[in-house]
A and B are shown apart, each in its own frame.
Chain A
Amino acid sequence: MSNLNKMKNIIIEKTLKLDCGKEISNFPLAYETYGNLNEKKDNAILIFHALTGDQYASGINPVTKKEGWWNYAVGPGKSFDTDKFFVICANVIGGCMGSYGPATIDPLTNKPIGINFPVITINDMVNAQYNLLDYLKIEKLFAVAGGSMGGMQVLQFVSNFPNKAKVALPIACTASHSAQNIAFNELGRQAIMSDSNWNEGLYDEKSTNPDKGLAVARMAAHITYLSKQGLQEKFGRNLQERSDLKFGFDADFQIESYLRYQGSVFVDRFDANSYLYITRAMDYFDLTKQYGGNLSKAFKDTKTKFFIISFTSDWLYPTSENKDIVIALNAIGADVGFVEIKTDKGHDSFLLDVPDFLSTIKNYLNTTYSNINERRI
């Protein structure tokens, strides 16, 4: 817990009216920053994390002791070059890395808030994080960026605050969560809720977590992050430390063992209720509907430069859904770049070492930053 005490956070005193109708105030938002804000304060980039991410995008996460979730992309000399840019990342509300979430201890009961936490949306997450910019006294961001749920936050952010960022990078995401994606999230939630330890969301975090349910949720989700080809190439039908099938239900295959491992390490760092709340927020995300069925209206009069990226083997947030955003932006003459990166690493590509992806972002940001400064564009 000592590390949790070292965590940077702000207490948001202002009342935040949530989409569900409830109001919250005096709540914590944990964040981390990388690099330095320059004198002109024009080099700040706000990065949004995905479903199971947190504020520790780069370097070593002090809590899990593992690499930050976007360590390939964020750091000195990397895509989001922290020698040049001031990178900010906050843990979303509903999360479990220090921000206000279901694992936050309710001072009245001295127990986790659990299922009494209000249902939150991507809109609520973004509105909460906006306070961080006020706190850091950043008038205008150079960029907002994120993949998957992070990309959804990018879209919501530029829609809510049209003049706050010069550049927006929504990666491998969608403007409207699909039935298939809702279905996978529901599968994960049902796995958690059917674990008897879940106890209607009132489990005691110290002793009886719904670890089994959460692990299954993670295993199922993990499959959706990879591609069939990627799985086949990495695991095929390889057996796990055995020369033949054992005619039982142990992990005979490497892929089984791999998924079990992914599930088991996940429960150590993630709160089951957070998983319920954040997946729900993703399911509720429908920017198109929010603007009466016309996504272009979400970006009306935008001056932001958009750079949208999708991946060939991503079937969770496929190119077609990313392209819908491009089309909506083109319909209003917005400044938009788009490329589909070729890779067999699936949806997870944005988190992995995909050189084409990483170098294109790096060059795009560096050139655009100097172009804007030279007022060329």
Chain B
Amino acid sequence: MKEEFKVISKFIEEKSRVLDVGCGDGILMEYLLKNKVVDVRGLEISKEKVKKCLSKGLAVIEGDAENDLKQFPDLSFDYVILSQTLQAFMSPENVIENLLRVGKKVIVTIPNFGHWKVRLDLLLKGEMPVTKNLPYQWYNTPNLHMCTIQDFYNFCNNKRVNIYKSISLNGEKISNITTSNLKYKNLISELGIFLLEK
């Protein structure tokens, strides 16, 4: 997901402090370190992945966002990133609240469950959708709370969270999401990238 990283990287100003929540193998962290002057930290739940990150000298701590975000003081990061993980939490609502507490700005990317292929799968096959961005079967998916770009928009509105910027990713195509093209973008985007602020 090079494009996703490019978009995220563009959102981030030089010399800022960044926390990557659910940083995985640290690929995004490395990307940011290479392309920006940033101070970047990571939080990751998988021991294996944490070990990989630490082996690369990255400042990553083993922990889970639902419990371990608590330890970070208010507004202690300029940006907090949550890349394609929101759907896997028990309580995405609490996580978003905590992200907005810890970060001055929050970048959230979500795999879009509103994409036409997803809709078509369910409509025509009558089966839970399996796509490139959502490669799991219903019985082994870690995704507990799937949502669409529209859902996320509504969520932010209800919670009075400012959406600063929103970007649609469809393959390699990057475009802006606006209130006027939201319905359409919700149909064609594989990924939604949001820059939020409280």
Contact = CB atoms under 8 A, between A and B. Distances in A.
A195 to B, nearest CB: 44
Contacts of A368: 57
A333 B17 contact: yes
B31 interface: no
Contact of B72 (A330, A335, A363): A330
A336 B76 CA distance: 14
Tell which of B17, B33, B62, B76 has the most Cβ of chain A within 10 Å: B62
Given A359-B55, A377-B57, A330 B62 contact: no
B147 interface: no
Contact of A335 (B59, B62, B73): B59
B111 to A, nearest CB: 28
Determine chain B's interface SS by DSSP, over half rule: mixed
Contact of A337 (B39, B61, B73): B61
Interface residues of A, number: 25
Contacts of B28: none
B56 A326 contact: no
Interface stretch (B46-54, B86-94, B132-140): B46-54
A317 to B, nearest CB: 16
Tell which of A338, A342, A356 has the most Cβ of chain B within 10 Å: A338
B55 A367 contact: yes
B179 interface: no
B181 interface: no
Contacts of A364: 54-55, 57
A298 to B, nearest CB: 16
Contacts of A356: 51
A307 B53 CA distance: 12
7 contacts: A307-B54, A327-B71, A336-B41, A337-B54, A339-B54, A340-B47, A359-B55
Interface of B: 17, 33, 39, 41, 47, 50-51, 53-63, 71-73, 76
